[in-house]
């Protein structure tokens, strides 16, 4: 059975495994107290001799491995998550607005179209009632509470109120559950994507990446189980489940929302990668994990 260890013991273990603690030990202790030894291990792994083999790990580090380089990889990942999280928030808000405007204006006489069986697939409606629009939901959100006090005969608040509280994942599920394929295509074309199935594929990846960012999981070598669809609009990297492919999708979608914001995102991304390219070791790890191309 593994036992808890002190930060000082953890630093000694890193030394025994071949890592050079090349910064002041008090600072190293402060960093471990901040990040945590287990979490730091995700960023130590690329420096291990066995990397990327997870089955035969000895936890021995390659010659020349420095504590400062591990921290640099951690900091790169943190900055990348922060950058993408901001862009993904912009996309999520726009996607919500796009759906509400497009579908509500298609069904102008039905402001609760999201629970109408002629508009939505049954599975979505069933889960919506059981998992989302619950008594607790109605009481937890003042806008919804106020609506039902003002309109006591309404079973639901209208789409522009209710759907404001859907998560990004539920929004994508709502889009997939629309029965009218022409309506779905109308929504997807606002992002210059003619094939609604491809948009679903892209947005599934964006939701997954958004969750990685929101929960501060490791992003730089994140591998999705779903394969991204390539095409003439978005050329994927050699492994289309890699984070760099998602970065290109974020940029592509932002171009349809706000070209200025998309260009800013691209400039910030390039600046971030160039910043860490000065460290050859970190640059190689990032390239092996993400297949990043500075000419995208």
Instruction: List pLDDT tens digits, range 24-35.
Output: 999 999 999 999
List the structure tokens of 19. Answer: 């890592």
Residues in CB range of 94: below 8 A, 6 or more apart: 257
What angle is formed at CA 234 by the lines to CA 287 and CA 215, rounded to 5 degrees? 60
Contacts of 131 (CB under 8 A, 6+ apart): none
Average pLDDT, the chain: 93
Question: 120 by DSSP, 3-state: which?
Answer: strand
Give the side-chain half-sphere CA count within 13 A for 224.
25
What is the structure's pLDDT at 235?
Answer: 63
Ranges of the chain with pLDDT below 70: 231-241
Burial class, 7, CB count within 10 angstroms (exposed 0-12 / middle 13-18 / buried 19+)? middle
Predicted local distance difference test score (pLDDT) of residue 162: 98
Note whether 129 and 155 are within 8 A (CB): no
pLDDT of 234: 61
Q: How many CB atoms lie within 10 A of CB 193?
A: 23
pLDDT digits (tens, 9 = 90+) for 217-241: 999 999 887 788 776 556 655 555 5
pLDDT of res. 192: 93
DSSP track, 268-281: HHHHHHHHHHTSHH
Beta bridge pairs of residue 61:
48
Residue 80 burial by Cβ neighbours in a 10 Å radius (0-12, 13-18, 19+): buried
Q: What is the largest CA-CA distance in the chain?
A: 72
pLDDT at 293: 85
């Amino acid at each position: 059975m593994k036992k808890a260890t002190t930060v000082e013991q953890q630093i000694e273990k890193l030394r025994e495994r071949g890592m050079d603690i090349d910064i002041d030990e008090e600072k190293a202790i402060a960093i471990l107290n901040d990040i945590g030894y287990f979490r730091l291990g995700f960023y130590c792994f690329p420096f291990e001799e066995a990397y990327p083999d997870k089955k035969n790990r000895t936890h021995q580090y390659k010659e020349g491995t420095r504590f400062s380089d591990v921290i640099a990889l951690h900091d790169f990942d943190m900055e990348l998550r922060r950058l993408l999280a901001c862009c993904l928030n912009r996309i999520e808000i726009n996607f919500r607005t796009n759906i509400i405007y497009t579908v509500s204006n298609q069904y102008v006489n039905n402001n609760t179209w999201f629970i109408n069986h002629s508009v939505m697939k049954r599975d979505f409606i069933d889960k919506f009632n059981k998992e989302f629009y619950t008594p607790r939901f109605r009481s937890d959100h003042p806008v919804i509470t106020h609506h039902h006090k003002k309109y006591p005969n309404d079973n639901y608040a209208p789409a522009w109120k209710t759907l404001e509280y859907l998560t990004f994942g539920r929004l994508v599920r709502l889009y997939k559950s629309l029965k009218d394929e022409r309506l779905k295509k109308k929504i997807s074309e606002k992002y210059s994507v003619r094939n609604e199935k491809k948009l679903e594929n892209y947005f599934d990846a964006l939701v997954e990446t958004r969750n990685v960012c929101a929960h501060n999981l490791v992003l730089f070598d994140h591998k999705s189980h779903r394969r991204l669809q390539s095409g003439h609009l978005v050329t994927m990297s050699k492994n289309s489940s890699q984070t760099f492919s998602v970065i290109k999708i974020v940029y592509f979608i932002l171009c349809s929302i706000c070209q200025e914001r998309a260009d800013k995102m691209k400039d910030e991304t390039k600046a971030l990668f160039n910043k860490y390219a000065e460290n050859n070791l970190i640059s190689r790890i990032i390239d092996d994990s993400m297949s990043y191309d500075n000419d995208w």
